Chain A
């Protein structure tokens, strides 16, 4: 049952990814990308990471793909056609590179032997159980899975607090940097001589 579900979802996901890569129309490629993100969220649910699946839907489908759509429509017109895409002279080497990479990765995955204390990946047939009664009344993994939002918050605020703060700093820098980079040049260039104090956004945009 689970295996069939996984096979259906992964086949759909790979088909959506392939359609994203090969579709000539950019808006359609973006919509295929949304479907791929949703399939990956379904895989997260199969891996019992429901909170991450919700994050995936919110961040990727809700924000990233909409941002990509804005980018397409601001650069290509509303139709989003990409007449220059995928000439066969570029497609063949790309397909060869992707195929060779997949063959290498799958060879490595199937031949992995595992550490001394650990089984190899190819023979890890099932995940550690979390049903009650299998490993005592309460294990850290089961508590985290059953209460994932709380566990993630506690971890981000205690053990991974430096990474959390760095991520916040990165997001702030990306926000300011994106505004500074995409600031309209015509808006400030004629008036920057007379402006009493130029904003940092205008400065960095004029430098760029």
Chain B
């Protein structure tokens, strides 16, 4: 493996994907598009976790795959988040007749 991929390439990819996800969260109006952008950000965090696991030193008390376990937990939480989020968006769609986040203004005075 004479020309391995440097670690910071993965980190820069994750940073760029996270920034793109932030752009999506800030600019999209549709609630489901916002949910998609959040998924992009979670995936960027996962890439970071796995890259640090592969490139960093292993502590014996943390086991052989600490980063992977953390990434699997992120995956689980993301799946649960999407399920509840879609349910909430459907509820709000029935109530407000819109799926745009700027129409949900019941709490704004």
A94/B94 in contact, CB under 8 A: no
B72/A68 in contact, CB under 8 A: no
A13/B13 in contact, CB under 8 A: yes
Q: A3 is contacted by which of B5, B88, B91 (Cβ under 8 Å)? A: B5
Measured in the bound complex, the distance between the Cα atoms of B24 and A99 in whole Å is 12
B10/A98 in contact, CB under 8 A: no
Chain B residues with CB under 8 A of A155: 63-65, 69
Size bracket of the B interface: 35 or more
> Scoring B residues 66 to 99 as 1 if CB is less than 8 Å from chain A, else 0, what string do you get?
0011011101111111111011111101100001
Measured in the bound complex, the distance between the Cα atoms of B6 and A46 in whole Å is 12
Q: B100 is contacted by which of A60, A84, A106 (Cβ under 8 Å)? A: A84
B12/A95 in contact, CB under 8 A: no
A47/B54 in contact, CB under 8 A: yes
Known: A36-B17, A109-B8. 11 other contacts (CB 8 A): A21-B40, A36-B43, A40-B47, A47-B50, A47-B54, A60-B75, A67-B86, A101-B22, A144-B64, A151-B65, A208-B91
A: residues with CB less than 8 A from B are: 1-3, 6, 10, 13-14, 17-18, 20-21, 26, 29-30, 33, 36-37, 40, 43-44, 46-49, 51-52, 55-56, 59-60, 63-64, 67-68, 70-72, 74-76, 82, 84-86, 90-91, 93-95, 97-99, 101-102, 105-106, 109-110, 117-118, 121-122, 124-129, 140-141, 143-144, 148, 151-152, 155-156, 159-160, 163, 167, 170-171, 173-175, 177-179, 181-182, 185, 208
What are 22 A-B pairs with beta-carbon distances under 8 A?
A21-B24, A26-B33, A33-B36, A56-B75, A71-B86, A71-B89, A75-B93, A85-B28, A91-B27, A97-B22, A98-B26, A101-B19, A105-B18, A127-B55, A128-B55, A148-B65, A151-B65, A155-B65, A160-B69, A163-B73, A170-B77, A174-B84
B: residues with CB less than 8 A from A are: 1, 3-13, 15-24, 26-30, 32-33, 35-37, 39-40, 43, 46-47, 50-51, 53-58, 60, 63-65, 68-69, 71-73, 75-84, 86-91, 93-94, 99-100
